[in-house]
Structure 1
Amino acid sequence: MFAAYNRLLLRRPIVTNMVTTGFLFGAGDLSAQAFFPSQDQAKFNFKRLARTIIFGGVVFAPIGVRWYSLLGKINVFRSTLGNSLVRVAADQLIFAPFIGIPLFYSVMACFELNPNPVQEARTKLEKYWWTTLRNNWTVWPAFQLINFALVPAQFKLLAVNLFSIGWNCYLSYLLNSSTGTVLKEEPDQIMM
């Protein structure tokens, strides 16, 4: 199965990553709905799952493929560790705060078909951006250091997608919770 996946990646990297990323983003939302159902959610929300799958497959995957390709070209040091540290810094100081997190909340606000998606996106970013970024910094730098140092280039996005089943569960929970907080006491407390 892994060999077949590798052949698909080599032949059609964008499409293969789109399908894989959509599926794994969906797994994160499925987990969130199963383990952390919203108080106002009486039954499973298939529209929410579809929005998450479409975001992962159609929006995030093509950007992710290009981002990891760009990061792979960073070779400022002779050592793998030095280059991996620079890649982690770029990923966590550029992509996460200014591309990944804003993209998620903005696109999801549009996918929810709210009457004013721009205002809804702004509201979600104001409400969740800092909490999400802080939580991101508690889990992603260590994982990305391992990913950039040890995982072959064509599998970096797959590794991220597998790891992010839990992260996507968290994002889905946060986005769809009625309070908009992970912990009841303080909106900016760290979940993990």
Structure 2
Amino acid sequence: MRIFRAYNDLLLRRPFITNMCSTGLFFGIGDLMAQHFFPVKTVDEDGVEEPLPFNLARTQRAVIYGFCVFGPVSVVMQRKILPRIFNPFLSKARRLAMEQAPKLKKRLLFYDVLFRVFIEQCAAGLLYIPMYNTVMTVLAGHENPLQLTAERLRQNWWTVYKASWLMWPGFQMFNLYFLPAHYRIVAVNVWSINWTGFLSFIHNTSGHGKGSGHRLEEILDIQDDDQELTMVYEA
């Protein structure tokens, strides 16, 4: 509990640098999990599949992305933007009446949180997923990074976006409705370990798709060789 209180105190006093450090750490942990549980495999001369060694550069890219890019963005979104968004489908008169009625305040908050979660999911599709693809491609040092990013988005954007609707709305409804603003980033960071592992897996693992025999790979439904090739980040 002391560690949690100290971390929360840092978030209150220095929200940006604290969240940048923790987000970078959690993105790194997510990549480590993905490399451990879903290692990239290669085929040797005898046709035997073998996992490639641990890719430190790949983890470093994940940490850099979390620290320099997503960390600051998430602070702005969670502490600056979302609290200022209100459900536009409630008239001013209706909102005023609900604010003045103690029994209706929680319902009003629910309506606002529901709209905030919808806006955040829109941001995931329009901002977060393209941002992740772009930055990670640039950091990997690929030639023609914008062209490759566009190709990756064409092939995997919908798959990742569908997964985000399964992963985030329910959690964010709880997070935004029940937790104080300064706790929300902590909760998001902890919950996001699974998500960052998923992102690392889908963007760094070749050979996944229908017929692979792996449950997660079957769910992702990435089927052809060209699609797999463009989704592998080389060291």
* TM-score of the pair, normalised by structure 1: 0.91
Larger radius of gyration: 2
Q: 5 Å matches for 1:12-161?
A: 12-40=14-42, 41-68=51-78, 69-76=80-87, 78=99, 79-93=108-122, 95-161=123-189
Q: Gapped runs of 5+ residues in structure 2?
A: 43-50, 88-94, 100-107, 210-216, 224-235
Question: Relative contact order (C-alpha < 8 Å, sep 6+): which is higher?
Answer: 1
Change (3 A) 1:60 1:184: closer
Contact 1:127 1:180 in 2 (8 A): no
Displacement after TM superposition at 1:106 (Å): 0.9
- Cα RMSD for the two superposed structures: 1.7
Matched-pair contact (CA < 8 Å) for 2:29–2:193: yes
Deviation at residue 184 of structure 1 after TM alignment? 8.1
Q: Does the 8 Å CA contact 1:18/1:56 hold for their aligned counterparts?
A: yes
Unpaired stretches in structure 1, ≥5 consecutive residues: none
Structure 1 segments (4+ residues) deviating >4 Å:
none
Following superposition, the deviation at residue 187 of structure 1 comes to 2.2
Give, in whole Å, the separation in 2 of the partners of 1:20 and 1:185: 28
Secondary structure class of the residue paired with 1:23: helix
Deviation at 1:134, TM superposition (A): 0.7
Deviation track 1:135-173 (CA, whole Å, cap 9, x = no partner) reads 111121111111110121012122111111011111100
Query: Number of aligned pairs?
Result: 187
Q: Percent identity over the alignment? A: 38
Worse-superposed segment, 173-182 or 124-133? 173-182
